[in-house]
């Protein structure tokens, strides 16, 4: 029926559009785009389209990619620069925010011709997203508290200065 092919197509479209958006924003704000930015934009597009890939058409994929690239770019900057949170590889800002965007856009962009329910499920999506976010915050808080009391949440200043490759593995990954 072509459903799998369409899912592959919209996944690529969203990733490509998000990459272009991310690189364009970097070119405007930083005067030059980066390869890391392009890769991060690609992942933002993939994370954003994931909740909807099976029920989305190409037009919806373009909107998903635009939204994911734009919002995730600013989420990375908010979390890393303004809030000064050390989110390795910008995981929450890209995967978490991108996934939430995709979930919340799904009711507006899904195609009934591709098996989507069409518009009207936004409240359901919002409630489900809120439940998952709440569960994740509670579970993460419990895990972090347990780690803080046992292993600790940070490495020593010496280990951080030397680099974790040296302090944990006894070798340098990069020269």
Q: Is the pLDDT of residue 59 over 80?
A: yes
pLDDT, one tens digit per residue, over 70-127 is 999 999 999 998 998 888 889 999 999 999 999 999 999 888 777 777 667 889 999 9
Tell me the pLDDT band of 168, cut-offs 50, 70 and 90: confident
Residue 175, pLDDT score: 64
Q: Which of 73, 78, 56 is nearest to 19 (CA)?
A: 73
- Measured distance CA(146)–CA(152) in Å, rounded: 9
In the predicted model, what is the mean pLDDT of residues 146-161?
A: 89
Please give the helix or strand (H or E) that residue 55 lies within, else none: none
Tell me the pLDDT band of 45, cut-offs 50, 70 and 90: very high
């Amino acid at each position: 029926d072509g459903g799998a092919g369409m899912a592959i197509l919209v996944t690529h479209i969203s990733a490509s559009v998000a990459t272009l958006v991310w690189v364009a924003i970097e070119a405007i704000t930083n005067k030059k785009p980066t390869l890391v930015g392009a890769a991060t934009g690609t992942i933002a597009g993939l994370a954003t389209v994931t909740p909807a890939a099976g029920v989305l058409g190409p037009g919806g994929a373009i909107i998903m990619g635009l939204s994911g690239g734009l919002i995730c770019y600013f989420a990375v900057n908010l979390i890393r620069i303004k809030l000064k949170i050390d989110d390795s590889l910008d995981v929450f800002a890209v995967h978490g925010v991108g996934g939430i965007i995709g979930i919340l856009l799904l009711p507006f962009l899904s195609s009934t011709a591709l098996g989507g329910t069409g518009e009207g499920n936004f409240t359901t999506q919002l409630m489900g997203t809120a439940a998952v976010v709440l569960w994740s915050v509670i579970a993460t808080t419990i895990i972090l508290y347990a780690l803080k009391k046992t292993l600790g949440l940070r490495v020593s200043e010496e280990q951080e200065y030397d680099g974790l490759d040296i302090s944990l593995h006894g070798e340098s990954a990069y020269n």
